[in-house]
Chain A
Amino acid sequence: KQEVTQIPAALSVPEGENLVLNCSFTDSAIYNLQWFRQDPGKGLTSLLLIQSSQREQTSGRLNASLDKSSGRSTLYIAASQPGDSATYLCAVGFNAGNMLTFGGGTRLMVKP
């Protein structure tokens, strides 16, 4: 059974800090990996998609890396802002059918 783990489960930082969210998965034979943001009571907003052949993707202040051999991905958020406060979910696709296995999420709070 594929498992996806996110550490830490919760994180509180002051505004302006750079931070790293971690995601690990048990099977390195992945198809792709996606990072999402979820605000309370809302759906998921796709942040970054990394294909299995890629090592990283960048969008604005966000950078996601992928290391298949070690079963890890990181989401780097630069110069954090209070508006970044949300739950960040890592999801791994293990086949082309795109069924995603989600991690437990990291609840981020950025304090002004």
Chain B
Amino acid sequence: GAVVSQHPSWVICKSGTSVKIECRSLDFQATTMFWYRQFPKQSLMLMATSNEGSKATYEQGVEKDKFLINHASLTLSTLTVTSAHPEDSSFYICSARSRQSSGELFFGEGSRLTVL
């Protein structure tokens, strides 16, 4: 299947700092990328849908000024957690859909954020 890469896999930061997580589609062009958040032993919750070249669409309850999403190219989307707080600590996973796919979504390996 297609490969989606996330970086970093692990990040620890202090409260108040900003953290950027990258999501790259390595062998295909992703017209749409999705960002999910997963709490321990829970399922994935969609945060936002990111379309290349346009503003992201955020799900209800997700603060767009806190979770900045940029999808500047067909292979890269970034999620920036601004002014991070301990409650932002979570597992963040991105997924991508290719132009040629039959609807199948491919997921990155996830990024574990810990805010001290």
Interface residues of A (CB under 8 A from B): 31-32, 34, 36, 41-46, 49, 51, 89, 91, 93, 96-105
Contact = CB atoms under 8 A, between A and B. Distances in A.
Contacts of A98: 32, 34, 97, 103, 105
Nearest to A4: B43
B105 A46 contact: yes
Contacts of B85: none
A31 B109 CA distance: 25
19 contacts: A31-B103, A41-B91, A41-B112, A43-B4, A43-B110, A44-B107, A45-B107, A46-B1, A51-B103, A89-B43, A91-B44, A91-B105, A93-B103, A93-B105, A98-B97, A98-B105, A99-B49, A102-B44, A104-B43
Interface residues of B, number: 25
A36 B110 CA distance: 14
A33 B104 CA distance: 9
A97 to B, nearest CB: 7
B95 to A, nearest CB: 8
B25 interface: no
CB-CB nearest 7 A-B residue pairs: A44-B107, A43-B109, A43-B110, A102-B43, A49-B104, A102-B44, A32-B103
B49 to A, nearest CB: 6
B105 A100 contact: yes
Contacts of A42: 109-110
Nearest to B111: A43
Interface string B84-116: 000000010101010000111111111010000
Given A44-B93, A102-B43, 9 more contacts: A34-B104, A41-B110, A42-B109, A42-B110, A43-B107, A46-B107, A51-B103, A96-B103, A100-B105
